Chains A and B, each alone.
Chain A
Amino acid sequence: MKTIFFRSAVALSLGLTLGLTACEKQLDLDPRQSVDAATALDSEAKVGSAVVGLYAKLDDPSLYGTQLLLIPEILGGNGYLSWQGSFTTYRDLLNRTTNSLNGLAESTWRLAYQNINQANLVIDALPVVATPDLKAQYEGEARFIRADMLFELVRLYAQQYNSATAGTELGVPLPLAANRTLTQADTDLPRATVAAVYAQVITDLEAAIRLLPEDNGTRASKYTAEALLARVYLQQNRYALAAAQAEDVINNSNKALSPTLVAVFRNRNSSESLFEIQQNDQNNAGTANNGLATLYANIGQLGRGDIRVLGGLVNQYEDSDARGTDSLTFNFTRKLIYVGDGPTRGSNQLRSGKWTAYGQNIPVIRLAEMYLIRAEGRLAAGNTTGALDDVNTVRERSGASELTTISREDIWRERQLELAFEGFRLHDIKRTGQPLEYAGAGGTVTVPSNSPRLVLPIPQRELNVNPALTQNTSY
C-alpha cells in the first residue's frame, strides 16, 4: 500500500515538473497582427513604413477621408446645401446648435493629434535612416503632414487669424515631441496662441519645402508644401506671401489645369493635382457611414444622398458653366451638379458630382486654387489685369464667361463656384469677414463671420482629461 502510494506521488510530481518546464514558455505569446513598439521604427525600411502610415491616416474619415472636407462645407453651408441625413452631428453643425459632445469635433481632433504624434515619432526616428535623400524626404513629409494637421486644427477649433489678436487668441495645443511612454503621452498641454500655431506651421512648411524632392510621385513634393504654404498665408490674409508661393507652384511644378474639372474627380492624380489622397476600392474612407461619396452621392444604390445642393449655390452658375447643372441624372449629365436618382430621396434634388465613387481619390490641393490665390495677391497689389487673367483661366476651362472687371468679391465668389464641396466654404467666410447670409424659415438670417458658433467646440472628453485646456466661447 505504502509503495503504491509513494510511486504514484513520485510519478505525479515528476509529471507536474516536466509539464511545467514545457509549459512555462507557453506564456510568451506574441501578437501576430502587430509588432512591438520597441522595435517598430528601428530601421530605414520600418521608418519608411511609418511615413506611408502618415499618409494612410490622412485618409481616415475623421481627416481628409470625410470630415476635413465636409465639416467646413456644412458649418457655414446654409443656403448652399441642406443636410438630409439622419446623423444629428452634421445637422447640429449646419444649424450651429452643436455642443462639446459632437462626435465629429472629437474624432477630427483625435485623429489629427494621432498623426501629429506619428510625425513626431518619424522625425525622432530619423537617425536610423542612413540614405541621405530618404532621410531628407521623410523629414520633409513628416513636417508637411504635421504642419497640415496643425493648420486644419487651428482653422477649425480657433477663431480666424488676425494679426492684431493672434498673439493672445487661443489656438490649439502644439505637441512637438515624440511620445512613447505614459509620462510623455499624459502631458496636459495648454492651447498655444493662434500666432504660435501659425508660426509652427510656417516653420514646418518652410523646412518641408527645403527638404522635399521636386517630384515625389503621388506623395507630398516641394510644390505640395509650397501650395499648402500659399493656402496658409492666404488664410492669414498675407496676400503677397501667398501669391509668391502660388506663383512658384504655377510656374515650376509642371502642373497644368486639367481640360475639364470633372476629369479631376473621375481620374486619379490628374495634371492639376498637387496633393491627392490615394484611395481604391479596398482602402477608402468608407462605404456605409463614412466617405465623401457615401454622404454626397445619390446614384441608384450608391450613396446615402445626405447632402442636397440648394439654389443658393446652383443659381450662381451661368447656364454655360460646366460646374453648374443641367438638371439631369448622373448617368446623363454633362455637368458637375446632377439630379439624384437614388430610391430613398425625393426626385429633382441636386447633388454634387465631385464625390461619386467610394474608391475615388480625394484631391486636397489642386492648381486651380493656386490661380485663385495668386489672383487675390495680384489684386491686392493693384495688378488688376493679372488678377483677371488668373480668374478667367479658371473660368474658361469650365465654359463660364470671361470677366472683364474684377473685385475681391468676384474672386471670393469664383472660389465658391470652383472649389464648392472641397472644404473651403467655412474658412473663406472667416477669412474674408463676409457674414453668412441665407434665407431661413422666418426671413434672412445673418451670421457674422466671427460668430463663435462657426468655431468647433474643444471636445468635452478632452476637457475632462486635460485641465489645462479652455473651451471656446459659446460652448
Chain B
Amino acid sequence: MKKNLLLSLALAAPVAVVAQTRPVSGRVTAVADGTGLPGVTVLERGTNNGASTDAEGNFRLTVQPGATLVFSSIGFATQQVAVGDQSTLNIKLQADQTLLNETVIVGYGTQAKADLTGSVTQISTKEVENVPVQSFEQAIQGRTPGVNISQTSGKLGAGLQIRVRGSSSVTASNQPLYVIDGIPVTSQDASSDTEPLNPLADLNPNDIESISILKDASASAIYGSRASNGVILVTTKKGRQGLTKVNVGYYVGTSTATKKRKFLNADQYKELFGEAFNNSGYIGPDPDTQYPTLADAFATEAGIDYNSPYNSDWVGAGLRRGHISQYDFNVSGGDAKTRFYLSANYNDQKGIILGNRYRRGSARLNLDHSIRDNVKVGLNFSLTRSVNDRVSEDNAFSNPIQLNALPPLQAIRTEDGKLNQATLYYNNLLDQENGRNRAGNYRSFSTAFLSYEPVKGLTLRTEAGADFLNLNEDLYRAAGTQDGGNTGYGYSNQVQVVNYTTNNTVTYNRTVADNHNFDALLGFSFQRSATQQTSAEGRGFPNPEFTKINSAAVKTAGSGSSLSEFSFISFFGRLNYAFKNKYLVSGSVRRDGSSRFGSDNRYGTFGAGSLGWVVSEEGFLQDNKVLNFLKLRASYGVTGNAEIGNYSSRSLYSAIFYADQAGVTPNTSLGNPSLTWETTTQTDLGVEFGFLNNRINGEVDVYQKNTKDLLLNRQLPYTGGYSVITENVGSLRNRGLEISLNGLVVDKAVKWNVGGNISFNRNEITDLVEPIIAGGNTLAQVREGEPIGVFWGRKYAGVDPANGDALYYTADGGTTNLPSQAVQQKVGNPNPKYTGGVNTSVSWKGLDFTALGQFVYGNDIYNTAGVYQSVNGDYFDNQTVDQLQRWQKPGDITSVPQARLYGANGTAVSSRWVTGGSFFRGKTFTLGYTVPAELSKKGYLSSARIYVSAQNLFTITNYDGYDPEVNTATFGGANYVLGHDFYTPPLSKTFIIGVNLGL
C-alpha cells in the first residue's frame, strides 16, 4: 500500500477531480515533546494536492470527499489519516530514525526505501546546505559508506577523487556517472591546466534536495555501460503546494591551513649546508676545486649570502588567512496547478593559498505545472557564473607552495620593498603582483519534461535536458615573471561543452489483488556531447598594462581550435515485483551503443537481478518488541565502463609542425577496431535492520566486484614505432564490507543521536599483461596481485652507522649504498584499509549541535618532493627540519644520511619518503540556535536560526607533511598515481558564523 502511494506521488499522477471539495486544517506535532513540526508535507493521497505546515506545525488544505491525507517529513514516520467527516486534524508524528519510509531516488524513478533491493546511499539537503565548501561532494565526506571521497588538494574548486566501492578501472575513468535531474552531466574536467577543475562545483549545493549514490549492480545497471563506477543521482529542490516559503541565509568566516610542513630556519640552514659543503670537500686550500670559506662557497655555488641577516618564512609567504561568505535566497511554493522553487546564491571564497579565490553566483527556477489532471509539464533551469582565480599546478615554480624550497637566508623583499628576484628558485610572489590565472565559467543545467498518465498507473514521460558548460580561461604573466619572460605571456582558452540528452520512458505501476505489486519501466535514451575549444597564446607585450593577446607581438603554439564528440543510444527496462511487501524481486536491462566503441563492437547489453525478503513482515517477527525491521537482499548484475576517450579505437594521424610547414605523423597509440567497454560483474548481499522502534538501525553490505576486459593501454616496444595500444585485457577485483549504524540514544526533550559508518575495500589487480609504471619520480605502479597504484621501488634501509651512506635493500636481503643495485619491491599501498565517519547530533529546545568526524586508515603517502626537500642537503632547496637528524660521526644511528652537497647520498627514488597517511579529522562541527517562534514572529519572521560552524577543525595524523588528504594531479595517471604529495597545498580549516531567516 505504502509503496503504491509513494509511487503515485513520485509519478505525480493526479486522478480525475470530481466536484465538492471541503477544507481541512490542523496541527502536526512531534510525539516526543509535543512541539509543532514545521515543514511537514501534507498530501492528499493519490493526488498532488498538498500543503506544508508552518513554523508552528499548522496546515490548511482543501480536499475531495473521502480523501486520505499523508503526513511526511524527513526524520519522521509517514502517517496516513482518512479525513472522513473531520475538518480539524491533530496529528502526532513519531520520529523515525531509519527513514525506511523515505522515498529513494533511483535511476529513472523513485522507490520506497523499504522495498529497495539494491544498495543505495541517499543523502538529504541538510547535509550539504551551508557548508563552506565549493562542491557538494566535499560536504558529504565521511557520510557515505562504500564511497570514498577525497580531496586531492586545498586548491579551491579542484577536482576530487571519488571511488564507489573501489577503483574498477586502471586507465579508463574511475569517477562515477553524475546525473542531475535525470540528465547525465559533464563531470570531466574541461580546463587546459594539468590539474583538473571540478565541473560539479557549478551546482549550488543549497539547491540540492537529495543525492542518491547507486552502488550495486541492481541499482546502477539501468545506466548500463557507464555504471561500473557507481552513479550519483542529484535531484534539485521543487516547490510544494502550500504557503509560500521564503528563506534568506548568510554566513561569513575565515580559514587557515590545516597544517604546514616545517622547514629549516636560517641558522639551521647554515648549519646543515655548511656541513654539506665540508663533507663534499668544497672547503679547503685548493683554488681549483675548493673555496676558502663557506661564505665564498654559498655565494658562488648558489648565490646565497652566508652572512645574510634574513630569516625568511617562505612557507608562510605562500599561504594566507582565507575569507568566505555566502548569500542565499530562495522562495518556494505553489498551488494545485503550478509549483515553483526559485533560488539565488552568491558564494565568495578567498583561499588560503596566495592568489586563490573562488566566486560563484547562481540562480535556479524549478517549475512544474499541471496542464490537466493527467498531463504535467515542467522545467528546471539554472544558470551559474563561477570565477576561479587559480593557482599554478603543483609542479610549477610558480606554485606558491614551492616557495618552501627557497633558502631562509634569502630575503622575500629587498630593502626597497620590492620582491627579491635574486632567489635560488623563482620568487613566484611576482606572479601575484604581475599576472592572473582565471577560469571563468558559465554553466546551465536544464531539463524540461512532459508527462502524461492516460490511465491510472501508466505514465508516459519524455524529457530533454541540456548541460551547457562555457569555460573561459585567461592567463597573463607580465614581463619579469618566470612565464612572462622578458616580454610577457598571455593565454586565453574558450571551451564549450554542449551535452544534451533525451529520455523517453513508460512506467506502469499496478497492484493486483492487494498483494502483488508490479512496477515496470521501459525507455529509450539518446545523448550527444560535443566539446569545442578555441585558444590563443601570445608573447611580446608592449608593457604590463597590456594583458590581452591582441597586444601580443607573437601568437605562439598554444593557439588553436579543436572539437571532440561522443554519443550514446540506449534502450532500457526494469521490472520490480513485490508480494505483500515481503518478497521483492527486481530485474533491469540496458542496451548501449556508443561512438566510442570500435566498429566491430558497437553495442553491449547490461543488466542485473535482485531479490529481497522483508523478514520482519513475516508472522514470527511481526510483534517482536526488539527487532522491528529486518530485510535481507541480494543482487547480481553486469555493468560497463565506457570512459575511454572518444577515439581510442582508431589508428590516427595528426598534424605536426616544422617551423612554418605542417606535416603529419602517426599517433603513438595504435588503434583497435574491436575495442569495447569494460565489464564489471557485481554481487552484493545486504541486510537492513531496525531495533527498538527503529531507534537503533543500520545496514550492512558485502560485495564483490569483478572487472574484466580492462581498457588497458598495453605498452608496445618503442622499436615498433608505437607506444601503446588500448585493449580489453586484464582484470581486477574489489571486495568489501560496508557497515552503517545509527542510534537515537536519548529521545526526550534532549535528543541525542549517534551514527557512524565504516567501509573496507580490498582492491587487487588479478590479471595484467605487464606492470604499468607511472615513472618519473613517482613510486606508483599497477602490478598483478597487488592493489592499484601500489608503491613499488627501492626499499630504503637507513644509514650505514660507519660512514653515513644511505643504504637500500638488495634482492638477497642485504644492503647496498648503490641505488642501482637495490631491488625493486613493494614499499607501500596508497589504498586505505578502511574509511568512514562518525557523527552525532544533540538538540535541546532551540539549540542544536552536530559533529562529523571522518577517518581514513592504513594508506601510505609518498612525498614525491622528498627528493628535493628531505634529502640531507644534497642541493640548496631548504630542507625539512627532520634532516637535522643527519649522520655526523661514525656510530651515529639515524635514518638521515650524511649531508653531502651534490653527493647524491640517498637521493634515489625510494621508500625513504613513504609514510603512513592515516588520519582522523574533525570534519564539521555546527552549533545552532533557533529563535522560539513567538520571538521570531515579533520580528515578522516565520523562523530564525543562527549558527557557528567549523570545517576541518582538527586533524590527527602521523603524516609530517602539510595535510594527509593529498594526491597531486600534476603527474597525470589519476587512476593509479595515488597518495603522492608534491608541493600540494593543504586543505583549509574554516570557521563560519551564519544566519537563516524564514519569512
Chain B residue numbers with a CB within 8 Å of A345 are 303
Which chain B residues (446-462) contact chain A, with CB distance < 8 Å? Answer: 452, 454-455, 458, 460
When chains A and B are docked, how far (Å) is the Cα of A179 from the Cα of B301? 50
| In the complex, residue of chain B having the shortest beta-carbon distance to the beta carbon of A111 | B718
Could you tell me which residues of chain B, from 284 to 326, have a CB within 8 Å of some CB in chain A?
288-290, 299-303
| CB of B649, distance to nearest CB on chain A (Å) | 11
When A53-B663, A59-B658, A465-B770 are in contact, do A31 and B422 touch as well, CB less than 8 Å? no
Residues 774 to 827 of chain B near chain A (Cβ within 8 Å): 775-777, 819-820
Residues from chain B with a CB closer than 8 A to the CB of A54 are: 663
- The CA-CA distance from A3 to B806 in the complex, in Å, is 86
Cβ A34 vs Cβ B526 within 8 A: no
Is A173 engaged at the interface, CB distance under 8 Å to the other chain?
yes
Pick from A44-52, A240-248, A417-425 the stretch touching chain B: A44-52
Within the assembled complex, what's the spacing in Å between the Cα atoms of A180 and B904?
44
Please, how many angstroms separate the alpha-carbon atoms of A345 and B602 in the complex? 57
Q: Do A86 and B868 touch (CB < 8 A)?
A: yes
Stretch at the interface among A97-105, A200-208, A255-263: A97-105
Among the listed stretches A16-24, A161-169, A225-233, A369-377, which one makes contact with chain B, having 4 or more residues with CB under 8 Å of it? A16-24
Which listed residue, A180, A346, A464, touches B770 by the CB 8 Å rule? A464
**Interface presence of A332 (CB below 8 A):** no
Bound form: Cα–Cα A288–B484 in Å:
11
> Given A301-B486, A475-B820 in contact, is the A56-B715 Cβ separation under 8 Å?
no
A343 contacts partner chain B, Cβ-Cβ < 8 Å: yes
Taking the complex as formed, is B668 at the interface, i.e. its CB lies under 8 A from any CB of chain A? yes
Judging by beta carbons under 8 Å apart, are B671 and A33 in contact? no
CB-CB under 8 A for A46 and B524, given A59-B658, A114-B721, A185-B670:
no
- CB closest residue in chain A, given B657: A283
Check A116 for interface membership: any CB of B closer than 8 A. Answer: yes
Contact with B along A9-43 (1 / 0, CB 8 A): 10010011001100110111101111111101100
Q: Is B745 an interface residue (CB 8 A)?
A: no
A5 touches B423 (CB 8 A): no
Of the listed stretches B21-29, B242-250, B553-561, chain A binds B553-561
Count chain B residues whose beta carbon lies closer than 8 angstroms to a beta carbon of A.
102
Pairwise interchain contact B455-A1, C-beta atoms closer than 8 A: yes
Smallest Cβ-Cβ distance to A114: which chain B residue: B721
Q: Which residues of A contact B875 (CB under 8 A)?
A: 86
- Among residues of B, the one whose C-beta sits closest to the C-beta of A475 is B820
The A65-110 residues at the B interface (CB cut-off 8 A) are 86, 88, 91-92, 95, 97, 99, 101, 103, 106, 109-110
A113 & B721 in contact (Cβ 8 Å cutoff) = yes
Count of chain A to chain B residue pairs whose CB atoms are closer than 8 Å in the complex: 276
Complex Cα distance A371/B258, Å?
Answer: 66
- Among candidates B282, B484, B652, B670, residue contacting A182 with C-beta atoms closer than 8 Å: B670
The one of A27, A109, A281 that contacts B602, using a Cβ cutoff of 8 Å: A27
CA distance A284 to B658 in the complex (A): 8
Chain A contacts for B867, CB-based, 8 A: 88
- Pick the residue among A27, A31, A442 that contacts B564 (CB under 8 A): A31
Choose among B282, B290, B661 the residue with the greatest number of A CB atoms under 10 Å from its CB: B661
| Assembled-state Cα–Cα distance A184/B719 (Å) | 11
CB neighbours (8 Å) of A343 from chain B are: 421-423
Give the complex CA separation of A146 and B280 in angstroms.
45
B661 touches A52 (CB 8 A): yes
Q: Are B595 and A28 in contact (CB under 8 A)?
A: yes
Interface centre among A5, A35, A56, A103, by most chain B C-beta atoms within 10 angstroms, is A56
Considering only CB atoms, which chain A residue lies closest to B487 in the complex? Answer: A301
Residues of B contacting A116 in the complex (Cβ-Cβ under 8 angstroms)? 721
Contacts of A181 in B (CB 8 A): 670
Assess whether B715 is in contact with A465, with CB atoms less than 8 Å apart: yes
Determine the residue in chain B with the shortest Cβ distance to A26.
B567
Q: How far is the CB of A393 from chain B (nearest CB, A)?
A: 30
Q: Is B834 an interface residue when CB atoms closer than 8 A count as contact?
A: no
- Which of A20, A88, A175 interacts with B721 by CB under 8 Å? A175
B417 within 8 A of A: no
* B281 on interface, CB distance cutoff 8 Å: yes
A8 interfacial contact with B, CB 8 Å? yes
Q: Is the CB of B303 within 8 A of A110?
A: no
Q: Are B719 and A26 in contact (CB under 8 A)?
A: no
In the complex with contacts A51-B663, A86-B868, A103-B775, A281-B554 CB distance below 8 A: yes
In the bound assembly, the distance between CA atoms of A29 and B650 in angstroms comes to 11
Interface string of B546-580 (1 = CB under 8 A from A): 00000000111101001111110100000000000
Least Cβ distance of B13 to chain A in Å?
14
Chain A residues with Cβ under 8 A from B595's Cβ?
26-29
B719→A189 contact, CB < 8 A: yes
In the complex formed, the residue of B with least CB distance to A281 is B554
Contact residues in A for B482 (Cβ distance below 8 Å): 301
Whether A344 lies near B659 (C-beta < 8 A) is: no
Using A56-B658, A465-B717 as known contacts, say yes or no to A344 and B504 having CB atoms under 8 A apart.
Answer: no
With A36-B651, A37-B666 in contact, do A302 and B659 touch (Cβ < 8 Å)? no
Question: A121 an interface residue at 8 Å Cβ cutoff?
Answer: yes
Return the chain A residue nearest B671 by Cβ. Answer: A37
List B658-676 residues whose CB lies under 8 Å from chain A. Answer: 658-668, 670-672
Task: Say yes or no for B646: interface residue by CB 8 A criterion.
Answer: yes
A97 CA to B554 CA, complexed, in Å:
41
* Most B-side CB within 10 Å, residue of A20, A31, A36, A120: A31
A113 adjacent to B460 (CB under 8 Å):
no
Which listed residue, A301, A346, A464, A466, touches B301 by the CB 8 Å rule? A346
Asked if B844 is an interface residue, CB under 8 A from chain A, the answer is no
Q: Let me know if B424 is at the binding interface, CB within 8 A.
A: yes
Task: Give the chain B neighbours of A59 by CB distance below 8 A.
Answer: 658
**A254 lies within 8 A of chain B by Cβ:** no
Q: For the complex, is B426 an interface residue (Cβ under 8 Å from A)?
A: yes
Interface flags, B487-505, vs A, CB<8A=1, else 0: 0000000000000001010
**Complex Cα gap A26–B281 (Å):** 70
Query: Which residues from chain B contact A302 at a C-beta distance below 8 Å?
Result: 485-486
Q: Which residues of A contact B454 (CB under 8 A)?
A: 4-5, 7-8
Min CB distance, B218 to chain A, in Å? 25
CB distance from B553 to the nearest CB of A (A): 9
A433 in contact (CB, < 8 A): no
- The residue that B672 contacts in the complex, of A51, A182, A281, with Cβ under 8 A, is A182
B932 within 8 A of A: no
**Given A95-B904, A281-B556, does the pair A36, B479 have CB atoms closer than 8 Å?**
no
| Cα–Cα, bound, A185→B282 (Å) | 51
Contact in complex: A50, B663 (CB < 8 Å): yes
Contact across chains for B776 and A103 when beta carbons are under 8 A apart: yes
**Is A49 a contact of B662 with CB atoms below 8 Å?**
yes
B909 to chain A: closest residue by CB = A101
B567 cross-chain contacts in A, Cβ below 8 A: 23, 26-27, 29
Bound-state CA distance A348–B299 (Å) is 11
Nearest-neighbour CB distance to chain A for B466, whole angstroms, equals 16
A334 at interface by CB-CB < 8 Å: no
Residue A441 interfacial (CB < 8 Å): yes
- Given A56-B663, A278-B659, A344-B426; A33-B654 close (CB under 8 Å): yes
Please indicate the chain A residues that have their CB under 8 angstroms from the CB of B621 in the complex.
Answer: none
**CB <8 Å contact, A50 and B602:** no
Residues A19 and B289 in contact, CB atoms below 8 Å apart:
no
B504 touches A16 (CB 8 A): yes
The contact string, 1 if C-beta is below 8 Å from chain B, for chain A 434-474, is 00000111100000000000000001111011100000001
Q: Find chain A residues with CB under 8 A from B425 CB.
A: 86, 344
Asked if A29 and B662 sit within 8 Å, CB to CB, the answer is no
B720 near A113 (CB under 8 angstroms)? yes
Does A127 sit within 8 A of B, measured CB to CB? Answer: no
Are the CB atoms of B662 and A344 closer together than 8 Å?
Answer: no
The 7 closest A-B pairs by CB, nearest first: A117-B721, A52-B663, A53-B663, A346-B303, A278-B659, A185-B720, A37-B651
Complex A-B: 5 CB contacts under 8 Å: A5-B455, A34-B667, A37-B671, A300-B486, A301-B481
**Given A8-B452, A278-B660, A301-B480, 16 additional A-B pairs, CB 8 A:** A5-B458, A27-B595, A35-B653, A37-B653, A52-B658, A52-B662, A113-B718, A121-B666, A185-B670, A278-B661, A282-B556, A301-B484, A344-B424, A344-B426, A442-B281, A461-B773
